[in-house]
Amino acid sequence: MNKTQEFIEQSKTKESSFKKRIANIKLNSLLEITKAINNNIPTDGLFAIYESILIHQLNIPKIALYTYTNSWRCVLKHGINTDVEDIKVEVELLKYKEITEIDLVASDSNIEAFDIIIPVHHKNQPLAYLLIGDIDEQKIEISPAIKHLPFVQTLTNVMMVAIENKRLFRENLLQVASRKELELASEMQAMLFPDKLPNDSTLNVNAYYQPHHQVGGDYYDFIRLNENEVAFCVADVSGKGVSAALLMANFQANLRALFKHNSSLSEIAHDLNTIVFGNAKGEKFITIFLAKYNILTRMLTYINAGHNPPLVLSADTIFNLTTGSIGVGMLQEVPRIREGIMHMSPNTVLVCYTDGLVEQNDENGDEFGMDKLKQIILKKKDADVKKINTSIILALDKFKQDVSYADDIALFSCKFL
């Protein structure tokens, strides 16, 4: 074998050895990342292993890794002096679907400090962008960083998919826990509503409640005070969701306690205002229609504290009950509280509701409104109140069609027999 052939054989041997070493590095790197993922190493630990592979094993001296969680941000950087936070991923990187050399991209931003853009996608969604810079920019075509870009992309993809799966798993656990908490809260809130409403020779009562979410801030109640007197109310907390439901639960407990120790609606409304303002610190308030009815005298005493005016149907005439005050909790002291009083003739119908009913929009943005509500009550005046309430809700569903409910809805109707 002459010297030329010997040199060629040595070169082939060295090249083969080099390829084997690189192949081992790649295999070991994937095994290391995979083992870390299987051992449920925290995200910071995965990034540390990944950074070590890129810098110390693949000899990539400049790196910047951008990932997305609510917003794009740089989660890993090494070997650079430029401010990588100034790079706007949405504007400068999202458009790249393939590995791209930066010197082929016209740009005057900080991405010019790098040589290569490596996008990482999963199910057609961008997960990350890795920017790398090479040691010898004059010989970029033979750099180890350039030779093994597909492997770097694969390694990054494996890690980012694992991190994304961990994030989705955590989110799913939180959602499951939150869903269970809401289900429990919904069950507990349902227990606050009266389980039985009267339907006898003196009163025919029916109610309907639908929270915007699983729990809400609308409320109705019916309380039998003694043999001849009953009290009822419909209320609406400003806002929605859990915070509104908690305030309403506190309101319900206080309302029932106050009725046991006080016979004056004005005093009850005043005390409720003090309690709600103290609990909500003026950030929330409650509108209430509060009433007391004497079965023997047929007299209804009421206070409308900033609530949607209930409708009374008597002798084919509909009118509103508006006498009262501002909502409780709006001010530290209610400037004036007035009580309304009226005689309830036989077969008079009272319909109380919250604003979620009349303010519900259809697909054109029009509101259900008071006129439609009045028309239904007039049309169903001879029916029992369950049929009246059912007709109202069916008409509302038909009106809104596919539009979602925008607010909680409470409906409380009573016919005085």
Q: What is the pLDDT of residues 152-171, one digit of tens each?
A: 888 888 888 888 887 877 77
> What is the distance between the terminal CA atoms of the chain, rounded to a whole angstrom?
120
* 233: Cβ contacts below 8 Å, ≥ 6 apart: 219, 220, 221, 255, 288, 289, 290, 291
Q: How far apart are CA 288 and CA 102, in angstroms?
A: 65
Domains, the chain, ranges and CATH?
Answer: 3-169 (3.30.450.40), 193-416 (3.60.40.10)
Give the max Cα distance, the chain. 127
List the structure tokens of 265.
């609606």
Express each pLDDT in 296-336 by its tens digit: 999 999 999 999 999 999 988 999 999 999 999 999 998 89
* 4: Cβ contacts below 8 Å, ≥ 6 apart: none
Sheet containing strand 203-210, edge to edge, reads 203-210, 409-416, 348-353, 311-314, 317-320
- Where b means 16+ CB within 10 Å and e means fewer, 27-57 reads eebeebbeebbeeebeeeebbebbbebbeee
pTM of the model as a whole? 0.62
Q: How far apart are CA 41 and CA 18, in angstroms?
A: 31
pLDDT of residue 101: 84
Residues of the chain falling short of pLDDT 70:
1-25, 82, 104-108, 134-147, 176-190
pLDDT of residue 106: 55
Query: How is 211-241 classified by DSSP, letter by letter?
Result: -SSSS-SEEEEEEE-SSSEEEEEEEEESS-H
pLDDT of residue 139: 41
Residue carrying structure tokens 């996608």: 121
**Closest by Cα among 172, 182, 268 to 225:** 268
List the structure tokens of 207.
């109610």
* 329: Cβ contacts below 8 Å, ≥ 6 apart: 273, 276, 277, 279, 280, 282, 284, 285, 286
* 270: Cβ contacts below 8 Å, ≥ 6 apart: 334, 337
Q: Would you say 323 and 304 are in contact if contact means Cβ atoms under 8 Å apart?
A: yes
Residue carrying structure tokens 């016979």: 263
What's the CA dihedral at 176, 251, 327, 181 to 10 degrees?
0
pLDDT of residue 19: 56
